C-alpha cells in the first residue's frame, strides 16, 4: 500500500519544527554560557628572598623545600606557581629585612647566602615613575618607610630620588605607595633581571 502523502507531509513538518527548536535552544545555551577567561600572564616582578645567589646558581641549589617560606614571620615569601621556588611580591607583602634573617638561616643548600647586615641585601632597586609620583604634591610616605634611607626628596626639582647604593630592594616603598595612591609610582626592579643576576657572593 502506498504511503499516505498527507501523513508524510505532517511528519516532515513536525520533525522540521522540532529540529529548529532544538537548534535554537543550543544556540541560546552556548550564547549565554560563561566564557572562559584566558589565564593571566605570569608575573615577572617578583623578587628572590634576601641573600639569594645569582639566579642560575640559585635555581641549581634551591630544592623547593619551602623552609624559607615557613620561617618568614611576615608571610612575605611565597611559592612561585610555575616552579615552586621562593619569591616575594613586594606590592603584596614586602620583605621587612628581619634582623636575624630567619629565611637565610633556614636554607641548607646555600641558595640563600649569609649577609652581615641589611645593607648587604640586594633584591633589586626601586625605580620611580615621576609622571605618577605625587611627592611634588607633598606625599612622602615611602620616604618615611624606607629602612635604609635610600629615598629622599630633591627640593630643587621637587622629585623623589633613589640612592642605588643604599637601596636593597625590599619593596616597602612599593607596598606603601600602593596603599596611599591610586597608581603605584615606585616599583622595585628585580636584581635577577639585571645582567649580573642577584648577589654575587658565593658564586
Cα Rg of the chain, angstroms: 29
92 falls within a domain: yes
The continuous run of DSSP H or E covering 87 comes out as: strand 86-88
40 falls within a domain: no
pLDDT given for residue 43 in this prediction: 77
Q: Which residue range is the domain that position 163 belongs to?
A: 55-193
pLDDT given for residue 201 in this prediction: 38
The residues pairing with 161 across neighbouring beta strands, listed in sequence order, are: 152
19 falls within a domain: no
The tens digit of pLDDT for each residue in 113-129 reads 999 999 999 999 999 99
pLDDT given for residue 203 in this prediction: 37
- Spans of the chain, pLDDT less than 70: 1-41, 195-203
How many domains does the chain fold into?
1
pLDDT given for residue 194 in this prediction: 80
> Is the Cβ–Cβ distance between 109 and 57 less than 8 Å?
no
> Is the Cβ–Cβ distance between 51 and 61 less than 8 Å?
no
The grid coordinates of residue 43 equal: 608575573
pLDDT given for residue 33 in this prediction: 54
CATH number at residue 78: 3.30.70.20
pLDDT given for residue 202 in this prediction: 38
- Placement of cell 522540521 in the chain: 16
5 falls within a domain: no
201 falls within a domain: no
Amino acid at each position: 500500500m502506498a504511503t499516505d502523502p498527507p501523513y508524510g507531509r505532517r511528519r516532515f513538518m513536525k520533525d522540521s519544527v522540532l529540529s529548529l527548536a532544538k537548534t535554537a535552544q543550543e544556540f541560546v545555551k552556548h550564547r549565554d554560557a560563561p566564557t572562559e577567561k584566558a589565564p593571566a600572564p605570569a608575573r615577572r616582578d617578583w623578587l628572590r628572598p634576601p641573600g639569594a645567589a645569582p639566579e642560575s646558581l640559585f635555581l641549581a641549589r634551591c630544592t623547593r623545600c619551602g623552609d624559607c617560606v615557613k620561617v618568614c614571620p611576615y608571610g612575605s615569601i611565597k611559592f612561585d606557581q610555575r616552579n615552586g621556588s621562593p619569591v616575594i611580591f613586594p606590592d603584596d607583602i614586602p620583605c621587612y629585612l628581619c634582623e636575624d634573617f630567619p629565611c637565610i638561616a633556614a636554607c641548607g643548600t646555600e641558595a640563600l647566602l649569609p649577609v652581615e647586615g641589611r645593607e648587604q641585601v640586594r633584591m633589586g632597586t626601586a625605580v620611580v615613575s615621576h609622571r605618577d609620583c605625587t611627592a611634588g604634591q607633598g606625599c612622602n610616605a615611602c620616604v618615611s618607610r624606607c629602612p635604609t634611607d635610600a629615598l629622599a626628596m630633591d627640593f630643587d626639582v621637587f622629585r623623589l630620588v633613589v640612592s642605588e647604593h643604599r637601596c636593597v630592594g625590599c619593596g616597602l616603598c612599593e607596598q606603601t605607595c600602593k596603599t596611599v595612591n591610586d597608581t603605584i609610582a615606585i616599583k622595585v626592579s628585580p636584581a635577577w633581571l639585571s645582567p649580573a643576576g642577584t648577589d654575587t657572593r658565593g658564586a
